[in-house]
Amino acid sequence: MSKHFGVHETACNCGCGFDEQNSELYAILDALREYFDAPVTITSGNRCEAHNRAEGGARYSQHIFGRAVDMKVKGVPPLEVYAYLDELFPTSKGLGLYHNRVHFDVRKRLARWTA
Protein backbone atom coordinates (compact mmCIF):
# COMPACT_ATOMS: atom_id res chain seq x y z
CA MET A 1 0.00 0.00 0.00
CA SER A 2 2.89 2.38 0.74
CA LYS A 3 6.41 2.79 -0.55
CA HIS A 4 7.83 4.28 2.66
CA PHE A 5 5.50 3.27 5.49
CA GLY A 6 4.81 -0.05 7.17
CA VAL A 7 1.28 -1.35 7.24
CA HIS A 8 0.77 -0.69 10.94
CA GLU A 9 2.48 2.70 11.37
CA THR A 10 -0.89 4.42 11.71
CA ALA A 11 -2.31 1.93 14.27
CA CYS A 12 -3.89 3.33 17.43
CA ASN A 13 -1.19 3.96 20.04
CA CYS A 14 -3.28 2.45 22.87
CA GLY A 15 -2.75 -1.08 21.54
CA CYS A 16 -6.44 -1.80 20.85
CA GLY A 17 -5.71 -2.87 17.28
CA PHE A 18 -7.66 -0.13 15.47
CA ASP A 19 -5.75 0.28 12.23
CA GLU A 20 -7.80 1.70 9.37
CA GLN A 21 -5.77 1.87 6.14
CA ASN A 22 -6.39 4.93 3.96
CA SER A 23 -4.72 4.73 0.56
CA GLU A 24 -5.10 8.47 -0.18
CA LEU A 25 -3.39 9.37 3.10
CA TYR A 26 -0.54 6.91 2.51
CA ALA A 27 0.00 8.21 -1.05
CA ILE A 28 0.32 11.79 0.24
CA LEU A 29 2.69 10.71 3.02
CA ASP A 30 4.84 8.87 0.46
CA ALA A 31 4.95 12.00 -1.73
CA LEU A 32 5.85 14.14 1.32
CA ARG A 33 8.69 11.75 2.19
CA GLU A 34 10.03 11.96 -1.34
CA TYR A 35 9.67 15.74 -1.62
CA PHE A 36 11.69 16.41 1.54
CA ASP A 37 13.93 13.36 1.03
CA ALA A 38 13.72 12.75 4.76
CA PRO A 39 12.02 10.25 7.06
CA VAL A 40 8.49 11.05 8.20
CA THR A 41 7.63 9.90 11.72
CA ILE A 42 3.96 9.39 12.51
CA THR A 43 3.45 10.36 16.14
CA SER A 44 -0.29 9.68 16.10
CA GLY A 45 -2.42 8.03 13.46
CA ASN A 46 -5.63 6.14 13.99
CA ARG A 47 -7.30 6.55 17.36
CA CYS A 48 -10.10 4.52 18.82
CA GLU A 49 -12.74 6.69 20.48
CA ALA A 50 -11.42 5.97 23.99
CA HIS A 51 -7.83 6.86 23.07
CA ASN A 52 -8.98 9.96 21.23
CA ARG A 53 -10.80 11.14 24.37
CA ALA A 54 -7.72 10.40 26.48
CA GLU A 55 -5.60 12.49 24.08
CA GLY A 56 -8.06 15.37 24.25
CA GLY A 57 -9.01 14.96 20.58
CA ALA A 58 -12.07 16.55 19.02
CA ARG A 59 -15.28 14.53 19.28
CA TYR A 60 -15.37 13.95 15.51
CA SER A 61 -11.61 13.91 14.99
CA GLN A 62 -10.43 12.61 11.63
CA HIS A 63 -8.14 10.29 13.61
CA ILE A 64 -11.13 8.15 14.67
CA PHE A 65 -12.08 7.66 11.01
CA GLY A 66 -8.56 6.61 9.99
CA ARG A 67 -8.04 9.71 7.86
CA ALA A 68 -5.43 11.65 9.89
CA VAL A 69 -1.87 11.66 11.16
CA ASP A 70 0.24 13.86 13.37
CA MET A 71 3.79 13.76 12.08
CA LYS A 72 7.31 15.12 12.02
CA VAL A 73 9.68 15.27 9.06
CA LYS A 74 13.27 14.74 10.16
CA GLY A 75 15.27 17.95 9.93
CA VAL A 76 12.38 20.01 8.57
CA PRO A 77 10.64 22.63 10.72
CA PRO A 78 6.91 21.99 11.18
CA LEU A 79 6.10 25.39 9.65
CA GLU A 80 7.86 24.37 6.42
CA VAL A 81 5.93 21.08 6.25
CA TYR A 82 2.67 22.94 6.96
CA ALA A 83 3.40 25.54 4.24
CA TYR A 84 4.21 22.86 1.66
CA LEU A 85 1.01 20.90 2.32
CA ASP A 86 -1.06 24.11 2.39
CA GLU A 87 0.31 25.00 -1.04
CA LEU A 88 -0.52 21.52 -2.40
CA PHE A 89 -4.07 21.53 -1.03
CA PRO A 90 -5.31 25.13 -0.93
CA THR A 91 -9.03 24.27 -1.03
CA SER A 92 -9.30 20.97 0.84
CA LYS A 93 -7.74 18.73 3.51
CA GLY A 94 -7.20 19.38 7.20
CA LEU A 95 -3.94 20.89 8.34
CA GLY A 96 -2.87 21.89 11.83
CA LEU A 97 0.39 23.43 12.97
CA TYR A 98 1.79 22.64 16.43
CA HIS A 99 5.14 23.64 17.89
CA ASN A 100 6.72 20.24 17.26
CA ARG A 101 4.53 18.51 14.68
CA VAL A 102 1.97 18.87 11.91
CA HIS A 103 -1.52 17.39 11.76
CA PHE A 104 -2.69 16.35 8.28
CA ASP A 105 -5.94 14.70 7.24
CA VAL A 106 -7.67 13.82 3.99
CA ARG A 107 -11.11 15.31 4.67
CA LYS A 108 -12.74 16.75 1.56
CA ARG A 109 -13.36 20.27 2.91
CA LEU A 110 -10.81 22.89 3.95
CA ALA A 111 -9.77 23.09 7.63
CA ARG A 112 -6.75 24.98 8.99
CA TRP A 113 -5.58 25.77 12.54
CA THR A 114 -2.54 26.52 14.65
CA ALA A 115 -1.98 25.76 18.31
Range of the domain at 75: 23-114
Q: What is the pLDDT of residues 34-70, one digit of tens each?
A: 999 999 999 999 999 999 999 999 999 999 999 999 9
Tally of structural domains, the chain: 1
Dihedral sign from CA coordinates of 16, 20, 26, 32? negative
- Residue 6 forms part of a structural domain: no
Q: What is the CATH number of the domain that holds 58?
A: 3.30.1380.10
Q: What are phi and psi of 70, to 5 degrees?
A: -105, 135
Q: Specify if 95 maps to a domain.
A: yes
For residue range 84-95, what is the model confidence (pLDDT) as tens digits? 999 999 999 999
In a domain, 1, yes or no: no
Q: Is residue 78 pLDDT above 80, yes or no?
A: yes
Higher pLDDT among residues 90 and 6, named by residue: 90
Q: Which amino acid is at 110?
A: L
pLDDT of residue 95: 98
pTM to 2 decimal places? 0.94
Residue 48 lies in a domain: yes
- DSSP letter for each residue of 74-106: TTB-HHHHHHHHHHH-TTSEEEEE-SS-EEEE-
Within a domain: 41: yes
Tell whether 50 is covered by a domain.
yes
User: Per the domain annotation, does 60 fall within a domain?
Assistant: yes
